[in-house]
Amino acid sequence: MTIDDLVTREGIYYQKFTDVPFNGKITGRQQGSVKDGKREGSWVFYHESGQLGAKGAYKNGEMTGAWIWYHEDGTRYQRHNRRLTQTVRKQT
C-alpha cells in the first residue's frame, strides 16, 4: 500500500472507497505505519531520485522527536526536535 492508495478526510487516512480509518504499513516514497488513520511511529521520505529526503517519527498523527531533512545529494540540511521546539541548521 502506498500513500497514493489512501485518501484523507479531516486529517484521517482511509483506503479509497471505504469509510474505515486505515491501519497498516505504507511503502514507496513515504514509508511508515498508520494506526486508526493517523501516522504513527518511524517514517522515512525519499526524493524522486530515491535519495533519502527526511526521517523522523509521528505520534497520533503529529510529528514528534528529532526530524532530519536531507538535500537531494544526501547531505543533511536541517534537524528539528519537536520536543525542544528548536531548529538546528547545518552550517556549510
- Dump pLDDT digits (tens) for 22-45: 999 999 999 999 999 999 999 999
3-class SS string, the chain: CEHHHEEEECCEEEECCCCCECCEEEECCEEEEEECCEEEEEEEEECCCCCEEEEEEEECCEEEEEEEEECCCCCEEEEEECCCCEEEECCC
Q: Is the pTM of this model over 0.75?
A: yes
CATH code matching the domain that covers 3-89, chosen among 1.10.3470, 1.10.8, 1.20.1250, 2.20.110: 2.20.110
Measure Cα distances from 47 to 9, 54, 60, 83 in Å: 25, 9, 25, 26
How does residue 2 score in pLDDT terms, banded at 50, 70 and 90? very high
Domain boundaries, the chain: 3-89
